[in-house]
């Protein structure tokens, strides 16, 4: 309810609302899934922490935050982070 109640109230008041589904939880996996489904049915947009991070970055031309975002991605984004590491190594090998 810590996320669902404010999300549902915000939607009822006409606000656009996003919930970072993998950064919150319920008393069980089933409770979490049902809460996310309930919010989605009410118009709350579920997203993930990685999607939110990349949306905040907006594009890779924003150099003032690029390095910090890439460090988070490489350390915590699983296969996506591994792909970033591979692409950087591949580009360096081709350049040098």
Q: What is the pLDDT of residue 51?
A: 95
Sequence-distant (6+) residues with CB within 8 A of 23 are 49
User: How much is the mean pLDDT over the chain?
Assistant: 93
> What is the separation, in whole angstroms, between the first and last Cα of the chain?
54
Question: Could you list the pLDDT tens digit for every one of the 96 residues in the chain?
Answer: 789 999 999 999 999 999 999 999 889 999 999 999 999 999 999 999 999 999 999 888 889 999 999 999 999 999 999 998 998 888 888 887
Can you tell me whether residue 25 is helix, strand or coil?
coil
In terms of DSSP H, where are the helices of the chain? Answer: 4-12, 29-41, 49-57, 63-76, 78-95
User: Where along the chain do its domains lie?
Assistant: 4-47, 58-95
Per-residue pLDDT at 60:
83
Q: pTM to 2 decimals?
A: 0.79
Separation of alpha carbons 21 and 16, rounded Å: 16
User: Is residue 4 a contact partner of residue 10, using CB atoms and an 8 Å limit?
Assistant: no
- Residue 18, classed as helix, strand or coil, is strand
């Amino acid at each position: 309810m810590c996320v669902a109640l404010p999300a549902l109230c915000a939607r009822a008041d006409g606000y656009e609302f996003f919930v970072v589904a993998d950064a919150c939880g319920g008393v069980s996996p089933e409770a979490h899934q049902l809460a996310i489904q309930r919010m989605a049915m009410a118009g709350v947009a579920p997203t993930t922490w990685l999607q939110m991070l990349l949306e905040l970055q907006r594009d890779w031309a924003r150099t003032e935050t690029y390095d910090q975002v890439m460090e988070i991605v490489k350390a915590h984004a699983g296969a996506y982070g591994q792909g970033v590491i591979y692409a950087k190594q591949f580009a360096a090998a081709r350049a040098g």
